[in-house]
Structure 1
Amino acid sequence: MIKLTDIDHWPSTEELGMDESQRTAFISALTMEFVLIQGPPGTGKSYIGLQNARTLLLNKDKWKMQLGCNHYGGSNEKHQCILIVCYTNHALDQFVEGIIKFIPEKELTDVIPAVITIIEEAAEVPETHIVTAINPTCEHLILIGDHKQLKPKPAVRELATRFSLSISLFERMINNKIPYTCLQRQLE
């Protein structure tokens, strides 16, 4: 298990089974409030997202203490919730199948405000969907995707052109020079 509070002793690329770009993305997602992970097909974007979720869930006693939230009714309760957002059911099924191996199924469906939001295939998700998925308790946002692959498909072309709806929040952040990690090597 990776101890989130002991950054100086985090596992090497070999110990993690990742290449350097994957390890950089993995660590960035665990240490920064807003993260973009970009990569072509097969470079391990979903794998990194799953490993981040796994590591966060295995260390939830650590981030529970640090990510307390004051939600809706003004309560200062500490929450241990991660919201996973995927544009397609297929992507969500794959993520849930991976995550269910290390977390009880009941915890997957608890309805409590999420302080961490992971958005898989974020380059395909319309910006409005991402904005509405983020609730007031969100303190950590991880967007994973490839803006060079698929883009959002707005239903009304006129509105899409007029309001730039075919550009995802993911692509907009990259275009605005928000730092991101680009995965380099395809998984075998």
Structure 2
Amino acid sequence: MTLSEADRERLADLVELQPTKNSVLQDRWGMDSGSEVHQYLESTLRDYYYRDENSLIRATAEAAELVGEGGEGDEAPAVHMSDAERQVFAVIAGPGERAESVVSVLHAVRDEFDAPDLEAADVRRALQTLKRKGIVEVEHRTVPTYRLAVAREDVNLEDPSGDGEHAAASEA
């Protein structure tokens, strides 16, 4: 997706302000309503943002890379992950490895984290969320298979306690 210079500037705002709300972007971009912000995000920046479980707007890793955040010497933006997403992230195949099915990832999570109650639907949901965040990529074979789109150490995990501290993926 090719973005105009104005769209790139707005994407940079999103990266800078994340996590954010429609109203904050509305003020920054001089739009008339949160609905107008939502329409713009969906029509122009759809591939570069997602909403977390609190409905806050966050930029994908690809968005941060596109606007020059998280490059050499810079710390990547913190990525918020639920417990299931963290578990999937910890066990899924790396960027150079063979992509895995949902069931394969499910078994790996159950083995690694002693999570017998975790279901395939939970893993599928976590994989789709990580895909939207630009962390996981899908390879379509007989069934969709997944692997990391970026190296684990290149992902800066947001501390789940919410105290503002960040944990490197290698520490997770």
TM-score by length of 2: 0.28
TM-score by length of 1: 0.27
Q: Give the helix-richer structure, 1 or 2.
A: 2
Q: Which has the higher contact order (CA 8 A, sep 6+)?
A: 1
